[in-house]
Structure 1
Amino acid sequence: MRARTFLPAVLAAALLTVTGCGSDGGTDSGGDAQAAPPKASSSAPSGEGEGEGEGDGADKAQVPEALNFTGTTVDGRPFDAKTLAGKPTVLWFWAPWCPKCRAQAAETAKVAADHQGNANVLGVAGLDKNAAMKDFVSQTGTDNFTHLSDESGEVWKRFGVTEQSRYVILDKDGKTVYEGVLPGGEGLAGKVAGLTG
């Protein structure tokens, strides 16, 4: 009986070792990013992303430390940021009651639609309850891309975000290339276009 449990444990340990080695290569790229310490934990188990093709890039690309987090979408689905690996990524930190965030919504949704398949856009909602977050997404027409419900603020802390209406833009290697406010989303399209070629 003991041999039966020992062998699967050894195999699992070997798989974890091989898998861990494969993802360490991306750490150097993300390590220089202007993000909070990468050891921040998430509030939800890992799972699949919402988009159908999102996992394809993660399988081929090494996952940088910046994208080593999980969460839950405003629709209650598990989300694993590893699905964003290999493409430039816009993280849009917003709050449902924020007028500046509401003003950024249309441009952010347009950028997500225009760059679908070439870049990722991920909304990270915080500073309120999930019901308000869902209402914001519905009211602003930003349902064409994924939004995390970060009620606990774990993803905000991970990227050192202390106020709403903020963008963090990562290049395809997970390095932060821009962090700040873009009133009305002005300039977002150009920044993303510069990363997608």
Structure 2
Amino acid sequence: MFDKLKHLLVFGGSAIALYLGAQFIATWGLVAGTPPPIHAATLDGTLLDIPNREGRPSVIYFWASWCHVCKAMQSSIRSLAQDTPLVSVALLSGDETEVREYVKREGFDVPVVLDQDGAIGRNYGLRGVPAVFVLGPDGTIRFSTIGYTSELGLRLRVWLAGL
């Protein structure tokens, strides 16, 4: 019995260490502190001014229409957007017509900003998508992650950013 518990703890600890190491490498070079400004209109014409300092946590979500991992996160992002200020950035996903068609087809009804040439993504230090930046109430980046993140993981980061 003790040996099984010992093996389980070693395996679990190794898995956690591997995950944290991978996240450290993946997020290396991402912008920290005050996020680069995003002054743009969403697909529905709403003007954004990021970072906003509305006194509560918010989220910037980078995705691409060709990214299968991003597609797997869409339901979590939609759910989060119901009660958290959130903007998504369509990175290298085509022109406005193509992104509008994708958003409609997928039912991805969150605010979307186009980043056709990848300039916004480069300003944030991105090397891949999906990427999530959680901003604290003061508008500074509190958490960043690249790759799949569960809804629970997203909500936990938003909650911690608000503390």
TM-score between both structures, scaled by the size of structure 2: 0.68
In the alignment, which residue of structure 1 is the partner of 2:74? Answer: 105
* Partner SS state of residue 163, structure 1: coil
Q: Does the 8 Å CA contact 1:90/1:167 hold for their aligned counterparts?
A: yes
Q: Does the 8 Å CA contact 1:127/1:153 hold for their aligned counterparts?
A: yes
Cα distance in 2 for partners of 1:164, 1:83 equals 20
User: CA, structure 1 residues 162+74, in 2 after alignment: closer, same or farther (shift >3 Å)?
Assistant: farther
- Structure having greater relative contact order (Cα 8 Å, sep ≥ 6): 2
Of 141, 147, 167, the match for 2:107: 141
In the alignment, which residue of structure 2 is the partner of 1:122? Answer: 87
Cα distance in 2 for partners of 1:136, 1:185 equals 22
Equivalences, count:
131
Superimposed CA distance per residue, residues 70-108 of structure 1 (whole angstroms, 9 cap, x where no aligned partner): 123234x26232483223121110001111111000001
Of 76, 79, 82, the match for 2:47: 79
Q: Does the 8 Å CA contact 1:95/1:125 hold for their aligned counterparts?
A: yes
RMSD (Å) for aligned C-alpha atoms: 2.5
User: CA, structure 1 residues 163+138, in 2 after alignment: closer, same or farther (shift >3 Å)?
Assistant: same
Matched, 1:195 2:161: yes
- Identity, in percent, stands at 22
Of 155, 163, 187, the match for 2:120: 155
Q: Does the 8 Å CA contact 2:87/2:113 hold for their aligned counterparts?
A: yes
In the alignment, which residue of structure 2 is the partner of 1:131? Answer: 97
Unaligned runs of 5+ in 2: 1-29
Cα distance in 2 for partners of 1:102, 1:123 equals 13
As a proportion of its length, which structure holds more strand? 2
